[in-house]
A and B are shown apart, each in its own frame.
Chain A
Amino acid sequence: MELIELRHIYKTYRMGDLDVPVLKGVTLTVAQGELVALMGASGSGKSTLMNILGCLDRPSSGEYWLDGQEMSRLPSDQRALARNRKIGFVFQNFNLLPRTSALENVAMPLTYASAHLSDRETRRRAEEMLCRVGLQDRLDHQPSQLSGGQQQRVAIARALVNRPTLLFADEPTGNLDSRTSAEVLHMFQQFNGQERITIILVTHDANVARYARRVINIHDGVIRDGSFGVRAKADASQIDVLPVAAAMGGVR
């Protein structure tokens, strides 16, 4: 089943009197459970495409089907709801709330669409997510007391606390050294393999893209290759998942 289906997406920005086309007819599909890298040089339209895929922005024209729902014409409140329920984001610069504990950072998305949860349940879910990323003894640490890799893992826990089907990672290793980068990327693979969470890695780094099964290359607003993957079902079993301990072990 295709989770994401883009058909003839165009995006044009207006700069003064000038129309600047950024995406010029992008068509691609991503299946449920895929781990895809979206690659392109800066200025290629990679970020714009990610914003549209992440429901942060709307295309000028074209269709965007996410999980059976047409997203390109939704009003902003409904897109916010979709972002909360279906999508998680991991950013290059972590974007954690300063002077706020890791636990509260992770619980933050729950306060928006999952207000029905009790305080205890919210805390339980946030704790569980932090344990999953190996930070069970850093619950009350503030971002300034955590290393870069730990901060990024808090960000991953935050992105997944609402149990989304789709995770975007925008240059997730851009601010990390190579060893921590490997840990974080292994963690993505692990979540992709175990939870069947669809992950889209946005990067310009070929070393990062290696961790994905499929690479979508975008250049100058059009997809060069990788628009359509092999069936995801077949893929999932073949992804080689490194042991969790290996990913965790390096941090301590």
Chain B
Amino acid sequence: MTAYRIVRTAMKALQRNPMRAMLTTLGIVIGVAAVIAMMEIGTGSSAALQKTIASMGANVVMIRPGTAASGGISFGAGTITTLTPQDYEAILRECPSVRSAAPVVRARTQVVYGNRNWVPSSIYGTTPSFLDIREWATLAEGAMFSERDVLTAGKVCVLGQTLARELFQGEFPIGKEIRVKNVPFRVVGVLSAKGANMMGSDQDDILLAPWTTIKYRVTGAALENSNQSAGSSGTTGSVNTLSNLYPGDAPNLFPARSAVQAADNPMPVRFANIDQILTAARSTAEIAAAIEEITAVLRERHRILPGEPEDFSVRDMTEMTDTLSSTTTLMTNLLLCVAMISLVVGGVGIMNIMFVSVTERTREIGLRMAVGARARDILRQFLVEAVVLCMVGGAMGILLGHGGSYLVWLLLHWPVETSPAAIAAAVLVSAGVGMVFGFYPAWKASRLDPIEALRYE
């Protein structure tokens, strides 16, 4: 018999008792519907949860310079000044797994407004994409400084909530001028509150400004001054080259070099260095790839031979990504358990009804055997009936479950994500349930003795 005829025979047999077939299928319908709805709502919430965790900066990959060493004494991470703005541009250009990157120049100094002052825990010189990397999407007031401000070393800044509160005491900060190491900055924006980070330090106690401004106007540790020390470039520069215009700045401690001195003792040409590069991987899954690509790019740019130690270090938020992946696995496993239970219950319903059906149709089985059905024909017939029941139930369940999750999305606004994998799994599993739970009744039917079966009342 062709497959089509077998299925048609099964359909006809089921049509002879449509009410019972429907009630039997109900178990599978509800089971599959529950699975589909759970999977869709579950993956939706899981995705939302992942997004939330990612907003804590789970996809951030940090690159810091390595250690400087002198005479066997190493100075610790971040003490060598090898990272350049060109490095960050190269990373952005050459690493496909990196969504965005921003340089960071740090300073720690006093910020003054009127008669108030404050030392924020971080003063970051960076680019506008810093906010994107830190998933710091919205500003409470004003706007972020622009790329143009970065190019022109514009004297503009954005304040964190804590800093704004301390300096302005409820006054409207936008457009006001504050001073950082005697450099006047116009406040263009106030960040939204982010609270403490996982270690408990206040992330709102921050000042953001273009990195060129911080680098060349505030810390001034560029060009000839920067190579006087191998120490952390951002915080040690005490000479403020561009602030010489202002009164009260530190006098030049050394006399200017004569032309002869300069010729005898040429200054090595220095590039501008940055303290840190922040990058964001495209997704949590791509963090590992991003780290690999960044390492390769930087090794090449820094001309580090194979086998040589790197002069930089790349780190990610392992703790957060682990939390992220374990949450997702937990969620998936939980849903899978629920799915299994409901499908097994549905399958037991199918088995039960198939037994009833076999008993009720004993005479029919006997007759079919008398007119020439072999044991395997009978087995196949009842097995196909069970599978058809389950498949029909599965199809109805998919529609019902999908509709259910759509309703949930429509009425409760829960995040919902259609999951083709769940639908495929539901079809396979319902067919599988039909096979497994239909097999025993079908086998029992095929073992019947035709004589006994024909005589059965």
Contacts and interface: CB of A to CB of B under 8 A. Distances in A.
A237 B185 CA distance: 126
Interface size class of A (residues with CB under 8 A): 20 to 34
A59 interface: no
B377 interface: yes
Interface string A169-195: 000000000000000000000000000
Contact of A81 (B2, B372, B375): B372
Interface stretch (B102-110, B145-153, B200-208, B362-370): B362-370
A182 to B, nearest CB: 26
B2 A115 contact: yes
A220 B9 CA distance: 43
Q: Please indicate which of the listed interface residues B1, B366, B370, B375 has the most CB atoms of chain A within 10 Å of its own CB.
A: B370
Q: Please indicate which of the listed interface residues B12, B374, B376 has the most CB atoms of chain A within 10 Å of its own CB.
A: B374
Interface in B1-39: 1-2, 5, 9, 12, 15-17
B371 interface: yes
Given A57-B451, A115-B5, A100 B370 contact: no
Interface in A93-124: 95, 97-100, 104, 108-109, 111-113, 115
B399 interface: no
A30 B87 CA distance: 103
A149 B363 CA distance: 20
B373 interface: yes
B353 to A, nearest CB: 17
A156 to B, nearest CB: 13
A233 B450 CA distance: 34
A57 B44 CA distance: 62
B392 interface: no
A89 interface: yes
Interface in A52-83: 54, 56-57, 76-77, 80-81, 83
Contacts of B17: 99
A51 B9 CA distance: 28
Contact of B372 (A97, A99, A112): A112
Contact of B373 (A57, A88, A112, A162): A112
Given A95-B454, A97-B364, A108 B371 contact: yes
A47 B370 CA distance: 14
Nearest to B16: A99
B380 to A, nearest CB: 11
Contacts of B377: 80, 112
B265 to A, nearest CB: 102
A158 B375 contact: no
A85 interface: yes
Nearest to A93: B363
B16 A98 contact: yes
B445 to A, nearest CB: 14
Interface in B22-75: none
B443 to A, nearest CB: 15
A10 interface: no
Contacts of B371: 83-84, 88-89, 108-109, 112, 158-159, 162
Contacts of B451: 51, 56-57
A199 to B, nearest CB: 16
B372 A109 contact: yes
A76 B375 contact: yes
Given A51-B451, A80-B374, A81-B372, A111 B367 contact: no
A80 B372 contact: yes
A228 B176 CA distance: 126
Nearest to B371: A109
Contacts of A158: 371
Given A51-B451, A97-B364, A115-B5, A89 B370 contact: yes
A128 B2 CA distance: 24
Contact of A95 (B16, B367, B374, B375): B367
Q: Which 9 A-B pairs have the closest CB atoms?
A: A84-B372, A109-B371, A99-B16, A80-B374, A112-B372, A115-B1, A95-B367, A77-B374, A83-B372
Interface of A: 51, 54, 56-57, 76-77, 80-81, 83-85, 88-89, 91, 95, 97-100, 104, 108-109, 111-113, 115, 158-159, 162
Interface of B: 1-2, 5, 9, 12, 15-17, 363-364, 366-377, 450-451, 454
Given A84-B372, A89-B370, 8 more contacts: A56-B369, A77-B375, A77-B376, A83-B370, A88-B371, A89-B371, A99-B17, A109-B372
